Amino acid sequence: MDFLNGLIALANYVLIPATSYGAQLALGALGVTLVYGILRFSNFAHGDTMAFGTMITILFTWLFQSWGISLGPLPTALLALPLGIIGTALFVLGTDRVVYRFYRRAKAAPVILVIVSMGVMFVMNGLTRFIIGTGEQNFADGSRFLITAGKFKMATGMEEGLAVRTTQVITVVTAVIVVALLFWFLNKTRTGKSMRAFSDNEDLALLSGINPERVVMVTWIIVAGLATIAGVLYGLDKSFKPFTYFQLLLPIFASAVVGGLGNPLGAIGGGFIVAYSEVAVTYAWKKVLGYWLPSALVPDGLAQLMGTDYKYAVSFVILIIVLLFKPTGLFKGKSV
Amino acid sequence: MPFLIGEAMTGGYGAADILHDCTIAVDKGQIAVIVGPNGAGKSTAMKAVFGMLNLRKGRVVLDGTDITGLSPQDRVAQGMAFVPQTSNIFTSMTVEENLEMGAFLRRDDIRATIEQIYTLFPILKEKRRQAAGELSGGQRQQVAVGRALMTQPKLLMLDEPTAGVSPIVMDELFDRIIEVARTGISILMVEQNARQALEIADKGYVLVQGANRYTDTGEALLADPEVRRTFLGG
Ligand SMILES: Nc1ncnc2c1ncn2[C@@H]1O[C@H](COP(=O)(O)OP(=O)(O)O)[C@@H](O)[C@H]1O
Ligand SMILES: [Mg+2]
């Protein structure tokens, strides 16, 4: 019984939150890895692209709410999401037209494109704050819990409660659908295959008649979609604040690098590795250990390795370890 | 008039010319082979013919049409195909996907062409679902040639197709290349294995320092004591 209670506490405080966080990181890292594989640079503006897409989605959510439109138990933001994606895609395509294309034509080195993306990052950063403000926005509506801790205790008679939030389930379900669609697209469609070919061997892709501008355009649209979905899911699950999204850049890059830059499967694996490590390291294990260990062995302290304020350090450490020992990532990507 | 001619080509990668008044031609359904020492400009000549190099002088004529101004992609559409010396396959993609990408410009049914390639290179059919990067050197070259053939080209250009393969595999590849030529496709090929290549060549070009040194039928070049002594090792 104690063992089960410990398991429930573990699921409640570690497994479930980390899984939905991992799904959000995975979607973010997929965008980073696609840009790296096809446009061949590390896109520092990705966190702010997520923020921008989320902002547009929030604005439409508010509009729908003011019209009295809702999705019942589901958040209204899901209805606004497609509009957020379209808006972000247009913005990103515009950025490519006025900024990136110039450097691409000049065959600029990847490091220059990284700096350029930082410039884009600051612009998007400012734009988002200018439009929606720097504060925190809570835009999740609908029913908050799928299973509440109280109901769970009543139904099972367990001491520990298990709460599952609607947004956590939505995150995981959406991520599964999006990833399945993305892999179907990349592996089965003509355009998707041409993107992989371009990523694999640009010169040979050109010799085969693949149009690079089209590949780049489709990539940006997909990246805008992934970034907006990741941002909205994160915002629903936690809350939206521009600065938080900028900070997300670190765990997202860690995920992409851990999995192997340029490798979509790696981005997903990396997202979960980073999320589980971050949550496990910052979780106070006292409760779970209390159930699992004989009382003499239960630690007096919280058994928390690191305060949550230091959670980004976890990504950083993982990033450094991987770069030192396996620069191509765990899933065979390109070397950084 | 030959089917393809790169005439009096002069040009290079930067300020310095690599090619000097170099002429390469191939007739319909025939095999032309370019040989010469390392760094002679053989690959550069191939790139020039395929439009991957800006020519300062000279022109390229395909089937009577001047194509000097066309981009490589446009040349593919005109019926030319090129297998570069290095990175000539998509290593992370399956064998079949490599073939599909070769046919990217085609909008008609490519199944029949894929089957033709599999008949030409049966091992590729066996490995169709395997990543091309996992294949052996000889099999990779077959994928590379297969990819190029997917556009149903009239001219196939091969830059050292037998580089790094065993003599047995080399003979096998040459046999396949002869088979391709018999279907009416012209072949322009650079080869390190000069003697074997000239044996199957209708026409041979010996390039030295970016210029034509000897040009004759493959047979005549093999018989020429001067060519034998300096380029074929006696
Ligand atoms: N991309 C390039 N940029 C500048 N110079 C090059 C390039 N490729 C080849 N060269 C130079 O052009 C000359 C001819 O090279 P290449 O055509 O590759 O010779 P081959 O194929 O006969 O061995 C060499 O001196 C080589 O250094
Ligand atoms: Mg060469």
Kindly report, residue by residue over A128-179, the tens digit of the pLDDT. Answer: 999 999 999 999 998 889 888 888 988 888 888 899 999 999 999 999 999 9
pLDDT at B234 (0 to 100): 64
Q: Residue B211: beta bridge partners? A: B208
What totals of helices (H) and strands (E) does chain B contain, helices first?
A: 10, 10
- Which H helix or E strand runs over A140? none
Q: What percentage of chain A reaches a pLDDT higher than 70?
A: 99
Question: Pocket residues for ligand 1 (CB within 6 Å)?
Answer: B 13, 18, 36, 38-44
Quote the radius of gyration of chain A (alpha carbons, Å).
Answer: 21
* Helices A264-282 + A166-188 axis angle, to 10: 160
Contacts of B72 in chain A (CB under 8 A): 206-207
Q: How confident is the model at residue A267 (pLDDT cuts 50, 70, 90)?
A: very high
Contact (CB<8Å) A207/B82: yes
Q: Name every chain A residue with its beta carbon within 8 A of the beta carbon of B104.
A: 190, 194, 197, 208-210
Closest alpha carbon within chain A to B99: A208
* Whether B73 and A197 lie within 8 Å, measured CB to CB: no
ipTM for the predicted complex comes to: 0.91
- Count of domains observed in chain A: 1
Is A333 among the domain residues? Answer: no
- How many angstroms separate the Cα of A114 from the Cα of each of A41, A50, A214? 6, 17, 22
Residues B127, B128, B129, B132, CA torsion sign: positive
Q: How many residues belong to chain A?
A: 336
In whole angstroms, what separates CA A111 from the centre of its chain?
Answer: 24
CA distance B3 to A252: 55
**Does A335 reside within a domain?**
no
Distance from CA of A39 to the nearest CA of B (A): 17
Residue A82 maps to a domain: yes
Does pTM top 0.95 for this prediction?
Answer: no
| A209: in domain | yes
Q: What percent of chain B lies above the pLDDT cut of 90? A: 94
Spell out where chain B has E strands.
4-11, 19-26, 31-35, 55-62, 65-66, 80-83, 155-159, 186-190, 203-208, 211-217
Task: Sort out which chain A residues have CB atoms less than 8 A from B77's CB and list them.
Answer: 209
Whether residue A221 lies inside any domain: the answer is yes
Q: Average pLDDT in the B35-53 region? A: 95
Predicted confidence at residue A334, as pLDDT, reads 66
The whole-number average pLDDT for the span A274-297 is 89
Q: Please report how the helices A249-259 and A264-282 are oriented relative to each other, as an axis angle in degrees rounded to 10.
A: 120
Judge whether A332 lies within some domain: no
Closest C-alpha residue for ligand 1 atom 21: B43
How many whole angstroms from A244 Cα to the centroid of ligand 1? 51
**Mutate-to-test residue for ligand 1 from B20, B44, B50, highest number of ligand atoms within 8 A of CB:** B44
What b/e string do you get for B189-223 counting C-beta neighbours within 10 Å, with b at 16 or more?
bbbbbbebbbebbbbbbbbeebebbbbbebeebbe
Q: What is the CATH number of the domain that holds A254?
A: 1.10.3470
pLDDT of residue A303: 85
The two three-digit tokens of residue B22, written as one number: 């170099």
Beta carbons of A32 and A46 less than 8 angstroms apart: yes
Average of per-residue pLDDT values in chain B:
94
| Nearest-5° Cα angle at B24, B19 to B30 | 155
Residue A113 lies in a domain: yes
What pLDDT shows up at residue A335? 55
**Alpha-carbon distance A217 to nearest alpha carbon in chain B (angstroms):** 18
Cβ-defined contacts of A148-152 (< 8 Å, 24+): A149/A12
Q: Is B134 on the interface with A (CB under 8 A)?
A: no
Per-residue model confidence as pLDDT tens digits over A78-97: 999 999 999 999 999 999 99
Mean pLDDT, chain A, whole residue set: 93
Q: What digits encode the pLDDT tens for the residues A187-217?
A: 999 999 999 999 999 999 999 989 999 999 9
The answer to whether the CB atoms of B91 and A201 lie below 8 A apart is: yes
**pLDDT tier, A64 (very low <50, low <70, confident <90, very high otherwise):** very high
Burial of A315 (0-12, 13-18, 19+ CB in 10 A): buried
pLDDT tens for A290-312 read 888 888 888 888 888 888 888 88
Q: Does A336 map to a domain?
A: no
Cβ-defined contact of B92 to A200 (cutoff 8 Å): yes
Q: Domain of A173?
A: 2-325
